[in-house]
């Protein structure tokens, strides 16, 4: 839960920065957000969640 909340917050901040910096317009941003919302209700959601969790674990294991 903590990882998914952090990812949602991070992606939300990135989206706001991109909209304010005019890198992306509001229309495509809404479409991307809706795509994410609808893909979460498909059978593909657990696979995406597992991939992102393993990616976060891999990044967490990197020692600088």
Contact 7, 52 (CB under 8 A): yes
Here the tokens at position 41 are 């209700």
Contact 54, 3 (CB under 8 A): no
Instruction: Report the alpha-carbon distance of residue 39 to residue 64 in Å, rounded.
Output: 35
Identify the pLDDT of residue 61.
92
Identify the pLDDT of residue 2.
56
What's the pTM value of the predicted model, to 2 decimals?
0.55
Name the nearest CA neighbour of 29 among 42, 18, 40. Answer: 18
pLDDT tens per residue, range 10-58: 888 888 888 899 888 888 888 888 888 888 888 888 888 888 889 889 9
């Amino acid at each position: 839960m903590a990882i998914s909340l952090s990812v949602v917050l991070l992606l939300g901040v990135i989206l706001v920065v991109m909209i304010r910096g005019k890198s992306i317009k509001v229309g495509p941003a809404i479409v991307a957000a809706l795509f994410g919302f609808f893909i979460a209700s498909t059978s593909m959601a657990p696979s995406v969640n597992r991939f992102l969790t393993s990616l976060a674990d891999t990044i967490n294991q990197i020692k600088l």
